[in-house]
Amino acid sequence: MTAKLQYSYVYEGANLELTKGLCASSSDPDLWFSQENFDLGARPTEHDKEVLVVRTLSALTMCDKCPIKDTCLAEGMKDDNLDWGIWGGTLPAERLAIAGKPMAGHERYNKLLFSNKIRTRQALMKEYGL
């Protein structure tokens, strides 16, 4: 229940079509914001990092099947959403690149590294049929 309350701000406003997304009916809507919920104040263990990767891959898998992926991506391209969450099957670093925003700064650089890690993992999983 708490997760739905934390995530509910996505559905406020004029774009009610987002309520038709697969994420809206997920039992864990925070999957699409796992990186933001990750405690960056503490040094993460390898297990913590792998949990984050698995959660992100799970969200992206659902995005691939979502009927409103394009609408969601359009919402994700808004300035307020570029740096946060998974929108329309894209990670923050990917949306920042599409928008032509600089990757300067430690936080954005980490988003780029994370995005590369996720996309590499997806490619390997596809190559090996996993």
Domain boundaries, the chain: 2-127
Q: What is the pLDDT along the chain (130 residues), one digit of tens a residue?
A: 333 333 434 445 556 678 889 998 899 988 999 887 665 567 778 898 899 999 999 999 999 999 999 999 999 999 999 999 999 999 999 999 999 999 888 888 989 999 999 999 999 999 999 8
DSSP secondary structure string, 43-112?
PPPHHHHHHHHHHHHHHHHHHHT-TTHHHHHHHHTSTTTTTSS-BTTB-HHHHHHHTT----SHHHHHHH
pLDDT at 2: 34
pLDDT at 43: 77
